[in-house]
Structure 1
Amino acid sequence: MRKVLLVLLVLVAVAVVAADRLGVRVAEDKIGEQVAAQYNLQQQPDVTIHGIPFLTQAIGGEYKHIEVAIGDWTEQGVTVTGVKVDMRGVDAPLSEVTKGSAANVTARTATASAVIPYDVIQKEAPKEVKRIGPKGDDLSVEMTGAVLGFQLNGTAVVEVKPTAKGIAITPVSVGSNGAAQIPLALVKRQLTWTVPVADLPVGSRISEITPTADGLRVAATAENVRLNDLQQQQK
């Protein structure tokens, strides 16, 4: 009898786990459908609901951590890559999720992150900029050309800052390869530009910028986000 009970308990545990994993896949698919509809995405994003057991979270309608991998994202003609939205403290009533509605789905905080590739940044740069790469918290820019009769042939260090219009890129120092030293003020006048990406898909302005080998990693965080309102929050 003891062996029979043990087998039954194992079977029940397996069934519960199977139901739990099946439930999480269904919920992830439904949330992915909602996000795709809100953003008019051509491809449904990958959704990951963290935390075990899932069924306890689903019945209570409260999820500690949900990640949404959107992929590429375009704003004002500029495409960023690897867009992810990390939501914490998600309130998603089971009735809303099962019927595919986002009307009452909210998150305590939502942090979006993405990478702006250097070739995308260079497309927005003045023609004198020939190459862009990371240099600590700033960027290193190779430049050739002329500014008010001065020949440009060297490198400049530029800083990056988030603004209401996008990411402002401004020279902070300049060097030359044997040519006459050009005043920094002139370089700033010629080599200051803005990449028109100010917001990410949480309706909040970019607040963090980190240079990486692949591009600028940017992030934006919003609080008390209502999934159904995200499309209206976009600029």
Structure 2
Amino acid sequence: MRKVLLVLLILLIGGVIAADRIGVRVAQDEIGKQVAAQYNLQQRPEVTIHGFPFLTQAIGGEYDQIDVKLGQWTERGVTVGDVTIEMRGVNAPLADVTSGNANSVTAEEATASAVIPYAVIKARAPKEVKNIAAKGDNLQVDLNGTIAGFPLSGSAVVSVKPSAKGIVITPISGGLAGLPQLPAVGQLVSWTVPVANLPVGSRISKIEPTPDGLRVSATANNVRLNDLPNA
């Protein structure tokens, strides 16, 4: 009798787990559909609902964390990639999720991150900038050309900082190598990439150089799914 009960218990647990995993997939697909429809995305974003069991979260309408991968996103003519939004403390009533209503889906905190490829940064740079690469917390730019009649060939270490106008790139003191020490050179290796916000309605606050580009992130509090800027 004990063996029978044990088998039934195992089957019951297995059935609950299977139902839980099926439920989370259905919910992820539905949220992906809502986000794609809300912002006219060509591809449905990838949605991941964290936490176990899912069904307990779904019934209560409260989720530990939901991640949404948008892929590409454009602001002021600049397209960035690998855009991911991590939402924590999500409130999403089950009836609203299943009916396709995103009006009441909120998150206590949402962090968006993206990668700005160096090709995109170079496209906004002066034509004398020939190459850009990560150098610790900064960037190294290689330059070649002519300025004020002086041949321009060398490299400069530049800093990257967020501002209201976008990502500001400026030379670091003593960071010019093999370049004429002219004020015009410093101006030449200074420019702004006009990406100031990410799709949580918040200004970029963190920038990290990587081999593929600048990884930027922004965090906002008390965010509604409907408030995310049009992607």
Task: Give how far 1:230 is off.
Answer: 1.6
Q: Percent identity?
A: 65
**Residue in 2 aligned with 1:40?**
40
CA distance in 1, matches of 2:197, 2:215: 13
Task: Give how far 1:147 is off.
Answer: 1.9
Q: What SS class does the counterpart of residue 40 from structure 1 fall into?
A: coil
Equivalent position amino acid for 2:180 in 1: Q
**Residue in 1 aligned with 2:180?**
181
CA distance in 2, matches of 1:95, 1:147: 65
1:213 to 211, 214, 219: 211
**Residue in 2 aligned with 1:225?**
223
Q: What SS class does the counterpart of residue 231 from structure 1 fall into?
A: coil
Note if contact 2:200-2:227 (Cα within 8 Å) is conserved in structure 1. no
Task: Give how far 1:190 is off.
Answer: 1.8
CA distance in 2, matches of 1:93, 1:30: 13
Task: Give how far 1:213 is off.
Answer: 0.6
Task: Give how far 1:6 is off.
Answer: 1.3
Equivalent position amino acid for 2:19 in 1: A
After superposition, what is the alpha-carbon deviation per residue over 1:47-86, rounded to whole angstroms, capped at 9, x for unaligned? 0101110000000000001111111111122111111001
RMSD: 1.3
Note if contact 1:171-1:191 (Cα within 8 Å) is conserved in structure 2. yes
When normalised by structure 1's length, the TM-score is: 0.94
When normalised by structure 2's length, the TM-score is: 0.95
Task: Give how far 1:163 is off.
Answer: 1.0
Equivalent position amino acid for 2:119 in 1: D
Note if contact 1:171-1:187 (Cα within 8 Å) is conserved in structure 2. no
CA distance in 2, matches of 1:217, 1:229: 23
Note if contact 2:144-2:154 (Cα within 8 Å) is conserved in structure 1. yes
Pair 1:137-2:168 in alignment: no
Q: For 1:13-28, list aligned pairs within 5 A.
A: 13-28=13-28
CA distance in 2, matches of 1:22, 1:146: 63
Note if contact 2:207-2:214 (Cα within 8 Å) is conserved in structure 1. yes
Task: Give how far 1:32 is off.
Answer: 0.8
Q: What SS class does the counterpart of residue 140 from structure 2 fall into?
A: strand
Structure 1 residue runs of 5 or longer lacking an equivalent are: none
2:200 to 174, 199, 202: 202
Note if contact 2:117-2:213 (Cα within 8 Å) is conserved in structure 1. yes
CA distance in 1, matches of 2:42, 2:215: 24
Q: What SS class does the counterpart of residue 125 from structure 2 fall into?
A: coil
Q: For 1:1-235, list aligned pairs within 5 A.
A: 1-172=1-172, 173-176=175-178, 181-183=180-182, 185-231=183-229
The count of residues paired between Structure 1 and Structure 2 equals: 229
Structure 2 residue runs of 5 or longer lacking an equivalent are: none
CA distance in 2, matches of 1:135, 1:60: 47
Q: What SS class does the counterpart of residue 228 from structure 2 fall into?
A: helix
After superposition, what is the alpha-carbon deviation per residue over 1:124-181, rounded to whole angstroms, capped at 9, x for unaligned? 11000000001111100000112222221000111111111111111122111xxx63
After superposition, what is the alpha-carbon deviation per residue over 1:96-115, rounded to whole angstroms, capped at 9, x for unaligned? 11111111000000000111
CA distance in 2, matches of 1:190, 1:3: 79
Task: Give how far 1:38 is off.
Answer: 2.4
